[in-house]
Amino acid sequence: PPNDFIPAAEKCHLIVEIGDWVLRETCRQHVAWRDAGIPPLNCSINLSPHQLKDTQIIASVDRALKQSGLEDGCLEIEITESAILDNIKSISELLGMLRMRGVSVSIDDFGTGYSSLSYLKRLPVDELKIDKSFVIHMIEDESDAVIVRATIDLAHNLGLQVVAEGIEEQAHLDYLQGEMCDTG
């Protein structure tokens, strides 16, 4: 499972190579689906903290986009809160360079890390993803519901889109639609 595989790949220093392959393959597959007549999709890939520190990450993104022919606006990069806090200045510059290439940026698992709200106004991001641990219990746990509502309001007030992860029941979907969550 990913919870075992990814830390092992990071420990063995293979995560950058694997991540580069995932990036290329995601872009290639997206174009193949488009060419097969499948309506446009957004493809998201997660970058590990190691990839964010790799000096070749921008070149890897450029190469994957060019080789695949994927058009602007179809690729989304997801990063976790903890990866942001390592070096916010260099991460901000990197995210800005990605966005200049038509790549959107999402903060994944929002609310599970250190949740320093100051980075939300400083980083060039497009979207917040509410972690499924809040979504799964928001119907029966008022604390989780408050966190979900507050995150949606905060993101919208900052001009960000919101994705709720872990929707498993119609009640989850109904609640999130009532709170004006953008995507689930």
Burial of 107 (0-12, 13-18, 19+ CB in 10 A): buried
CB-based contact 108:129 (threshold 8 Å): yes
Round to whole Å and give the CA distance between 88 and 35: 38
- pLDDT the model gives residue 42: 76
Tens digits of residue pLDDT in 106-130 = 988 777 766 567 777 778 899 999 9
Residue 169 pairs in a beta bridge with none
- Cβ pair 118, 89 in contact under 8 A: no
> What pLDDT, on the 0 to 100 scale, is given for residue 84?
76
Tokens of 60: 């890897």
User: C-alpha 57: how far from its chain's center?
Assistant: 16
- All residue ranges of the chain with pLDDT < 50 are none
Location of structure tokens 């790949």: 9
At residue 114, the pLDDT reads: 61
